[in-house]
Amino acid sequence: MLVPDDLKYAETHEWIRTEGGIGTVGITDHAQAELTDIVYVELPQVGTRLEPRRAAAVVESVKAASDIYSPVSGEVFEINSELESNPALVNTDPYNAGWLFKLKLSNPEEISSLKTATEYMTQIGA
Amino acid sequence: MVSDFATLPPRRTPLYTEHLKLGAKMINFGGWKMPVFYSSILEEHQAVRQHVGIFDISHMGQIRVSGPSAVRWLNTLLTNDLQRLKTCDGQYTLLLNEQGGVLDDLIVYFRGNNDYFLVVNAAKIEEDFDWMQSRLLADVALSNLSDHFAALAVQGPASAELLRGFGDLPIRNKIQEFRIQGIPVLLARTGYTGEDGFELFYPAAAAAAVWNQLLVLGVPLGVKPCGLGARDTLRMEVCYPLNGADLSPLRTPLEAGLGFFVDLKKSEFVGRSTLLTQKEAGLKQRLVALKADGKSPPLRAHYAVFVGDAQVGELTSGTQSPSLGIGIGLGYVDTPFSNPGQKVEIDVRGRRFPATVEKKPLYKKGC
């Protein structure tokens, strides 16, 4: 299971990459492997204000729909529209092409409360 | 359904450790711990549509009914007419409650000599058996053989090729005795996928031997072990109902569109009078097949079906069809809106997606 060192992780299996007040969010390799066969992704609208631990997106596999939570609070300013035609990118490239949404962080300090790669690996038993 | 089993630990089939060895993701289903997939539901689905897939169906139940009055007695409990069966024939049929609601759907095979072999749903084994036992006649023998049998479904266009090396194969809907490396197998040409295929019933002690043998032999044919996920998408594409989802004690087989398997001309069977009344009065709702008109989230059970502002029904099953690449579902819809071609909308988390009532099956070979 890939768990890149430069990302932070939520217990609910989302990752966030931060750069100058902007956070990019996706789901982890472990999460995509558990879900398998993602066939539909429902993303938040640009401008939506997200709160941590609240449903922000829905990722649907053949078998089930799963809520995706925003790891931190912020305002959505870009979504990965590529997933509309190719939702399987979440399976094949969860940390890059399979990103879900970007948000302007409203409280950058929240990042420090998220898990490090090592802590997340411990959580999933990797 | 889940709550019925919440107090008991899930049961394991004799292939449980084989599933773990293959890295299966295991889930609870009908009181059993079963593989939902090994690699991917989509890959397993395609293996069955294009090559051959093997499913562990050992969780399903086997009930034997025999004796001089077996056929007469079974005919009072099951909806289809067993008198029509010739030796080795299989028949899809339903077990109803007094109100005409579905307790279970099953296949009964006639082995000859007043001997019947029933294959019932995993979650219903004890309930079916108790229901039958409480109505038993003196010269009918009834036994629950479920723990003695392992069972596999070998499904897909290459399934006959995989099994042919072991002996002559039955034709569609028939059952016969068979051997795989000396192991006695009851081999039926039946299935739940819409493909050519077989169901194998054999001693539980030989569960892994036959399973592994077929998986190894099938490699050149593109065989895959397949889980309940693919079993569900395959059966939905061909609109086979799932008991506990599309069938329930609150729905009759007429509402479920299974009238073909109900012989109302039989003098008496449990539930018959309700069905006659219902037929006379007309059905309020029917189980229909629905297909999304365009891109939509996968359809799911319990999504509401609308025509204009009025809710006209609810889905009982749904998925994204791997073969068609579009949302499909089964659901009960008010009769006036249940004809093929009817335009509806399906509510998904507060958004409406257009869909159409379609003829069953939704998927046909070569489409």
Domain range annotation of chain B: 2-59+147-237, 284-367
Look over chain B and give the mean of its residue pLDDT values, rounded to a whole number: 96
Q: Facing residues of A67 across strands?
A: A58
How many angstroms from the chain centroid is the CA of residue A91? 12
B164 Cβ contact list (under 8 Å, min separation 6): none
Residue B340, preceding bond cis, omega within 30 degrees? no
Average pLDDT score over residue span B9-22: 97
What's phi and psi for B47, nearest 5 deg?
-60, -40
Percent of chain A with pLDDT over 70: 100
Q: Is B2-59+147-237 a CATH 3.30.1360.120 domain?
A: yes
> Which member of B42, B295, B296 has the closest CB to residue A62?
B42
Domains of chain A: 8-108 (2.40.50.100)
Distance from CA of A63 to the nearest CA of B (A): 7
- B300 chain-A contacts, CB cut-off 8 A: 65
- B45 chain-A contacts, CB cut-off 8 A: 62
What pLDDT sits at residue B1? Answer: 39
pLDDT tens by residue, A20-52: 999 999 999 999 999 989 999 999 999 999 999
d(CA B364, CA B367): 6
Q: Name the token pair of B317.
A: 């099953």
pLDDT tens by residue, B201-214: 999 999 999 999 99
ipTM of model:
0.87
B286 Cβ contact list (under 8 Å, min separation 6): B255, B257, B332, B333, B335, B338
- B25 chain-A contacts, CB cut-off 8 A: 34, 36
Instruction: Specify whether the backbone of A20 is left (phi greater than 0), alpha (psi in -120 to 50) or beta.
Output: left
Cα angle A86-A2-A84, degrees, rounded to a multiple of 5: 10
pLDDT confidence of B320, banded at 50, 70, 90?
very high
> If you ran DSSP here, which 8-state letter would residue B241 be given?
-
pLDDT tens by residue, B32-44: 999 999 999 999 9
Domain B284-367 in this protein, CATH class: mainly beta
d(CA B9, CA B360): 37
Look over chain A and give the mean of its residue pLDDT values, rounded to a whole number: 96
pLDDT over 60 at B255, yes or no: yes
> Which member of A58, A63, A84 has the closest CB to residue B36?
A63
What pLDDT sits at residue B225? Answer: 98
d(CA B199, CA B215): 15
What pLDDT sits at residue B365? Answer: 81
Average pLDDT score over residue span B232-258: 98
In this structure, the strands spanning B32-37 and B11-12 are: parallel
Out of B111-115, B262-266, B363-367, least confident range: B363-367
What pLDDT sits at residue A126? Answer: 77
> If you ran DSSP here, which 8-state letter would residue B143 be given?
E
Is B300 close to A34, i.e. CB distance below 8 A?
A: no
What's phi and psi for B303, nearest 5 deg?
-70, 140
Is A62 close to B229, i.e. CB distance below 8 A?
A: yes
Cβ-based burial of A68 (10 A; exposed 0-12, middle 13-18, buried ≥19): buried
Distance from CA of A75 to the nearest CA of B (A): 22
